Structure 1
C-alpha cells in the first residue's frame, strides 16, 4: 500500500455536493475528503484484509456468546435493567446489518492488527460505498477496481432482512442537525428502499411512547427501527426504560447485543479468549500489566477522545474529551503505516456477514480523531 497523486479538478467540491456529499470540508475549510491522492493497493493485500475481517467477525460472535453466557455485562458498564434485553436479542437472532473494523498494517511484520470494532454506529459508509466509487469512475477512464461492494451488499442485506421485519414500515432515525449522520442514514434508507422496504424517517427526539408501544409523529406504531445513535446514549434517553417493556418488542437495528461489540472492553475479552492471535493486540482491563508501550482507551470513547499513548511508560500523545469515568482498556501500541501525507488506518466493512469494502483514514498524529482525513483507494 502506498500513496499516489493525481491532479484534482478545480470544481471537485461542487461535484461532491451535487452527488449529496456536503461535509467534504470542515468549518475551518480543512478538507475531510482527500481528492488529489489515493492509496494504491494490490489484490493480495485486498485478500489479506478480506480474510482478516472474515476471521475476526467469527471471533467476535464467539466473544459475544461468551460474554452473554457468563453474564459479564458489568465489565462493559451496561446497566442491569438492560441485561435481559441484550440476552433476548442474542438468543432470538435479532438481525444486524453492518459494522466496521479498524485495522493498522504493520509494515515490518507485514501483519494486520485490529484496533477496535465500530459495531453499532459506524459512519463513513456513504463515502465508502458511493463517493470513492464515483471518484474512481471520474478520474480513471481505463478499467480500475476497488475493494468495494458496499452498495450492492447493503441492498442484498436489507432484502435478506425484510422477512424478519415485524411490520410494514422500517423507521430510520438519527439526531437532528447532524449532516454527516443524516447523510449516512438517508443513504442506508435509500438502499433499503431499493431492497423493496417501505421506510420512514424520524429523529430520535420525536420517538414517542403511547403506553404499550413506540410511535412516530403520526401515531403510527414503530415495529422496526434502524437508529444511527449509540446504544450507550440511547439507554439513557427518557423513553429507554420502555424498550424492555415494549409489548410488541420492536426490532431495534443495530440490535442491543451490538452494545457488547461496540464497547472497547471486547478487545480485552478477545485477547483473553484468543491470546497471542496474530490479528489482535495485547489488551487488558484498566492496567497495562507489564507493557511499557501501550494506549489507554476509555471503554466508550468515540472519535479518539480521551486516548493516551505511552512509550517506555511515558505519555507521548493524548487527546481531550469527556470519557473515562466508565473505565479503560490498555492496548499494546501498534506500528502504524506512515506516508509523507500522514499515518493511516484501514476501516474494513462487514455487511450482512460479508467483508465487502475498505476505507483509509489518515491523520497527522498517531491517534485517529474526527479530524482524520478520508482517502480513496484503488486496486492496481
Structure 2
C-alpha cells in the first residue's frame, strides 16, 4: 500500500458531475482550507495480494457480524443497543425471517503491514457508494487502463436486486431519502441504488421519505399518488424511524410491507456491535478491543456514541492525541474502542471503506482526512491495483 500522485484531468469536475456526483461541500486540507471532495490529484496503490487479504478479512468480519446478530437475538440483549423495548420483537422476527438485505460498508484501519482492523460497520445507511463504484472505476479506466481496481460493486448490486426481488412483497420498490439532508448525498445515493434496481428489472418509484403517507383506513403506507407501498428502500436510519409513530407502523406492517435495509440491520449499524464482537471473538486479529459504557482495561481509547455519524461526538484519550469532536449524539450511550490511529501518508490519514453486497465483499472506497477522526471534512480518494 502506497500513496501516489496522479495527473488531474482538465475536465474532471464535469466528468464526475455527469456521472451523478453533484453533492457535497468541499473537503478540508491539513490547514483547514477547502479541498475537492473528489480528489484525483492523488490515489492509493495496492498489490493484488493486499487486496485479496483485505477481501478475505471483510468476508470473515461479515460472517462474524451475522453470528453476533444471531447471538443478540437469541439472548435478547437489545437493551445494550439502546433500542426501545417495543421494537425488540419486530427485530427478532425480522432476523428469524431473514428479511432480505442488499449492502453495507465496513470502515477499516489498514496500512499494508498487517490484517485489516474493524473500526465500525455501516450496515443500514451506507453512503460514498456512487464514488466507490462508478466514479472511481471511470477514473481508473481513463487514467490507468492497464491497472485493475477492487470494484465489482455495480455489477454485484444489480445481481443482488435480481436475487431479492422475488423475496419482496411486490416488484415495485419505492426508493426514499430524507429531504432534510442539506448536502444531497442521500438523494444521490438513493438515485444510484434506484438505477441498479431498475437495471435488474425492478419497477422503481422515487420520493422523499417525508412524502410517505399513512392511510388509517387501509392501514397502509401510501405514496403521493395514494398508491400502496409494499416494498420500500430507505436511506434513513432505523433508529430515527423507531423514534416516532411512523416507525411503529413500519414494524407492525412487517412483513406485508418490507423495508430495505431490513429491521435486523439495527443491530449491525449500532456501535454496541463492536463490544459484542470483542466479547465473542476476543483477541481476533481483525478486531480492536471494545467495551460498552466504560473503557475496561483500555488506557488509550476512542469513545464513540452508539449511534454517531460522520465522526460526531468522538473523544480520543491517548497521550499526544487528545481530540474531541462536537455533535448531537451520545445520549444513547457510548462504546470504548482501543485507539489505533489511522496510518499517515503525506500528512493525511486514509480510512478504507470495504463494501459488502449480499454476503460477498464487492469493492473498496477510501476517505482521507487530515485529522485523527474521519468526518465530513474527509475527501474521497480513488485507488488502483498495481499492474
Relative to the length of structure 2, the TM-score reads: 0.94
What 5-or-longer segments of structure 2 have no aligned partner?
Answer: 28-32
CA contact (8 A) 2:130 2:192 kept: yes
Matched position secondary structure for 2:98:
coil
Matched position secondary structure for 2:176:
strand
What 5-or-longer segments of structure 1 have no aligned partner?
Answer: none
Query: Deviation at 1:205?
Result: 0.8
Q: Could you say which residue in structure 2 is the equivalent of 1:125?
A: 129
2:195 is the alignment partner of 1:183: no
Distance 2:213 2:23 in 1: 30
2:155 is the alignment partner of 1:148: no
Distance 2:295 2:74 in 1: 27
CA contact (8 A) 1:147 1:358 kept: yes
Distance 1:234 1:177 in 2: 14
Query: Deviation at 1:242?
Result: 1.3
Alignment of 1:1-380 (within 5 A): 1-23=1-23, 25-26=25-26, 29-106=34-111, 110-140=114-144, 142-176=145-179, 178=181, 179-211=184-216, 212-246=219-253, 249-312=256-319, 316-380=322-386
Matched position secondary structure for 1:337:
coil
Q: 1:286 to 1:177 in 2, by over 3 A?
A: closer
Distance 1:206 1:248 in 2: 21
Q: 1:354 to 1:330 in 2, by over 3 A?
A: same
Query: Deviation at 1:325?
Result: 0.9
Query: Deviation at 1:379?
Result: 0.2
Distance 1:80 1:197 in 2: 35
Q: 1:247 to 1:342 in 2, by over 3 A?
A: closer
Query: Deviation at 1:120?
Result: 0.3
Distance 1:245 1:376 in 2: 42
CA contact (8 A) 1:213 1:247 kept: no
Distance 2:325 2:260 in 1: 31
Query: Deviation at 1:335?
Result: 3.7
CA contact (8 A) 1:24 1:33 kept: no
Shift >6 Å, 4+ stretches: none
Query: Deviation at 1:286?
Result: 1.2
Distance 1:134 1:30 in 2: 21
Matched position secondary structure for 2:232:
strand
Distance 2:234 2:37 in 1: 24
Distance 1:215 1:41 in 2: 48
Query: Deviation at 1:359?
Result: 0.9
Distance 2:23 2:168 in 1: 32
- What is the aligned length? 377
Query: Deviation at 1:30?
Result: 3.0
CA RMSD of aligned residues (A): 1.6
Distance 1:165 1:235 in 2: 21
